[in-house]
Amino acid sequence: AAALLARSRCARAVELAAALVGEAQAYPGTADDVFALVGALAACAPAVRRYLVAREFPARLAAFVLKERAPKAVAAALRGVVDPRGAPALPDFLHVLEATAALLGARQAGKAPLLAEAHTQGGEGSYSRWGQQQAELAPAARAALAAVFEEQCRPHFRPLGMDTGDVLKYMERCQHAVGNVTHFQLKQMLAKYHTLPDGRLSKEGFLQYYRDTAERNPKQVWSDLYQFGYNSDLVRAGPEQSAGEAAPAADAAAAPSSSAAAAAAAAA
């Protein structure tokens, strides 16, 4: 089976993924997509996972994270493939950990859906002006983001809303690249999404923004939710979690992101 796999198109996909891991150190902003692809490949079949392990993918990921602290044996084995000394620091290593877990065969909890199909015309995000059906926020995602909005608004201003200063503070809390956000872009955001009569971003506008973001950049939505204590089941861990909320099942089946799975399928 291993010999057949080595001659298959899947092997070609694995080799391309190996090259991408080597290049990821030069493009830290998109490195998490590479690691998501590795995790999706590892999860697609046991034979593929074993082949990835044989191609030293766990060591490649370790070298990327550990940089100059990587064991000498790892650095020597991967010299010219992944340079641990040149690997930049990432904001977080969530996708690296998920990919490593998939390579080791660990079962992972899948992520709750951020979007759901819209069934009725006229509702939030149901149809575009061209008649194309659009998705809407899934109920759990909508509830979580609504709670985040209410917590981040100044309570003495009713109804609750966010002005440009509040939005900037929120983005800073979410570790967005605030320095790249201009006042003009903030005004455009407030012009695009629903606002209150005084011009502040309303809760509905906040949810509209996240609906659009979930369609084009779901990893940003997850990153923001993680900042506020939500896990992959959209349940809050820690003191904010209510007694009636159940902890996520540890042995839930793995569910790679659709974009990573599609990329893996296309490459294979």
- The string of DSSP codes covering 122-163 is TSTTSB-TTS-B-EEE-HHHHHHHHHHHHHHS-TTSSS--B-
Look up residue 11 and give its two tokens. 């092997």
Domain covering 139-228, topology: Recoverin; domain 1 (1.10.238)
List CB contacts of 173: < 8 A, sequence separation 6 or more: 152, 227
Provide the whole-model pTM: 0.65
List CB contacts of 53: < 8 A, sequence separation 6 or more: 103
Closest of 229, 227, 232 to residue 256, by C-alpha: 232
pLDDT in tens, the chain (268 residues): 455 555 677 777 788 888 888 777 677 677 788 888 899 889 888 888 998 998 889 988 888 777 777 777 776 766 655 554 444 545 457 788 889 999 999 887 778 999 998 765 444 444 444 445 578 999 999 999 999 999 999 988 889 999 999 999 998 888 775 556 778 888 889 999 999 999 999 999 999 999 999 998 888 899 899 999 999 899 997 654 433 333 333 333 333 333 333 333 333 3
Please, which residues bridge with residue 93 across strands?
none
Contact in structure between 55 and 77 (CB atoms under 8 Å): no
Cα dihedral value 54, 60, 66, 72, nearest 10: 70
The domain spans of the chain are: 1-104, 139-228
